[in-house]
Amino acid sequence: MAANVVRLRRALGRPGVWVAVCAVTIVALVMFPAAALWPLVAAAAPAAMFAAVVTAYEQAAAFRARYPEYGGGTGDREGTARPGHPERADGDTPGAGES
């Protein structure tokens, strides 16, 4: 039981799980375009995406705290003082990753 709770908490801490929930909700709307689904999509899809983005920022913050010498491990070299040691004084979550 406790192990399952831990597994669930770990899963909910992954942005990918929330992105999948968001995607499933939108796909459900396309496949079953019933009027009853619209309020569900309007609430569930953005809520899942919000959760995904918040967990992603938390993951990035934890990563920065663990690997301060890598500047968050995002590979963003903008404003780098020394190669491999980016300046992170502004606390920015760098924009090397983009979508």
Q: Is 97 in the site for another protein (CB under 8 A)?
A: yes
Structure-block tokens of residue 44: 């569930």
**Which 3 state secondary structure label does DSSP give 59?**
helix
Q: Is 74 in the site for another protein (CB under 8 A)?
A: yes
Which distant-in-sequence residues (6+ apart) come within 8 Å of 23 by Cβ? none
**Which 3 state secondary structure label does DSSP give 40?**
helix
CB of 18 to another protein, least distance (A): 9
> How many other CB atoms are there within 10 angstroms of residue 25's CB atom?
20
CB of 81 to another protein, least distance (A): 16
**Which 3 state secondary structure label does DSSP give 85?**
strand
Q: How far apart are the C-alpha atoms of 72 and 66, rounded to whole Å?
A: 8
Q: Is 40 in the site for another protein (CB under 8 A)?
A: no
Q: Is 53 in the site for another protein (CB under 8 A)?
A: yes
Q: Is 70 in the site for another protein (CB under 8 A)?
A: yes
Contact residues: another protein, CB under 8 A: 15-16, 19, 22, 26, 29-30, 41, 45-46, 49-50, 52-54, 56-57, 59-61, 63, 67, 70, 72-75, 78, 84, 90-99
